[in-house]
Amino acid sequence: MAVNQVHQMDTSLSYPLECRGLHFSYGKGWPILKEVSHVMGRGTFTALLGRNGSGKTTLLHCLNGINRVSAESVFIHGKDIHSLNANTVARQVSLVLQETPDIFPFTVIDVAVMGRAPFLKMAQSPDDEDYVLAKKALADLGVGHLAQANFNQISGGERRMVLLAAALVQSSEIMLLDEPTNHLDFKNQYLILSCIKKLCNQRGTTAIAAMHDPNMAMLFADEVVLLKNGEIFDAGPAGKVMTKSNMDILYDTETTAFPFAGTRQFFIPTEALHDTMEKS
């Protein structure tokens, strides 16, 4: 099993988000995550890659406290997540879920302003400043014109942008995204990943996204973490870690690599490529 040097963390440094020797299991069941250690730097887009059941979503839920982990295994800006209350974590770490279910018929602006909830006291309503922040987030993501639309009546891609805006007004420091391109069409897949990349570059956002498509990760991610059976198989810069050998092992299939943009490559399962060529 390959071990990348990124695992050898300098504990004297403080990163926006890091995990050290993280273990997690549901109850007394089989461990889902084992000895997961990684640091996520400021302004970095990190993609979590692996087959279904490899632990990607579970890891995201550990990183924001949904899944309770042992002490000294998850750190936010150098502080053990165990030393922080839920509101403090929520003000620094936002989560965009994989699904976008119908909710009560709120307007888009009201859905976006829900991201301010961790900053409000019990029974306190959002004020004008909260709405200004929500409007700016929507405008920055190109959906400001939808502010008064019914959230349930806009497209799936537009919903995802609105939920990203809500996460942005909650916290632009650290954003966790579970399959951000799920159910999106060709254009919107690239659009939302471009927006996330822009947040990293322009605002210094630390983004960690669980992704299915390695080619999308290669195109947008600065770093990738390869998860296999709940462990980090390899991790580091996308162009260095995403090799044919690693993709073959990660997805349990032979792949064919196509070079692009210098040192980077796209990957297609070799069997699918052969089938397509035989039919053409």
- Each residue of 167-188: pLDDT tens digit? 999 988 999 999 999 888 898 8
Is the full-model pTM beyond 0.85? yes
pLDDT digits (tens, 9 = 90+) for 35-92: 999 999 999 999 999 999 999 999 999 999 999 999 999 999 999 999 999 999 999 9
Residue 129 DSSP code? H
Structure tokens at 87: 């509101």
Q: Confirm if 250 and 235 have CB atoms less than 8 A apart.
A: no
Q: Confirm if 189 and 13 have CB atoms less than 8 A apart.
A: no
pLDDT at position 9 over 60: no
pLDDT at position 14 over 80: no
CA distances 136 to 91, 139, 170, Å, are 18, 5, 13
Q: By percentage, how much of the chain surpasses pLDDT 90? A: 75
Q: What is the DSSP string of 83-120?
A: GS-HHHHHHHEEEE-S-----SS-BHHHHHHGGGGGGS
Which residue, 88, 66, 62, is CA-closest to 77?
A: 88
Helix (H, G, I), strand (E, B) or coil at 268: strand
- Spatial CB neighbours of 79, under 8 Å, sequence gap ≥ 6: none
Q: Confirm if 155 and 147 have CB atoms less than 8 A apart.
A: no
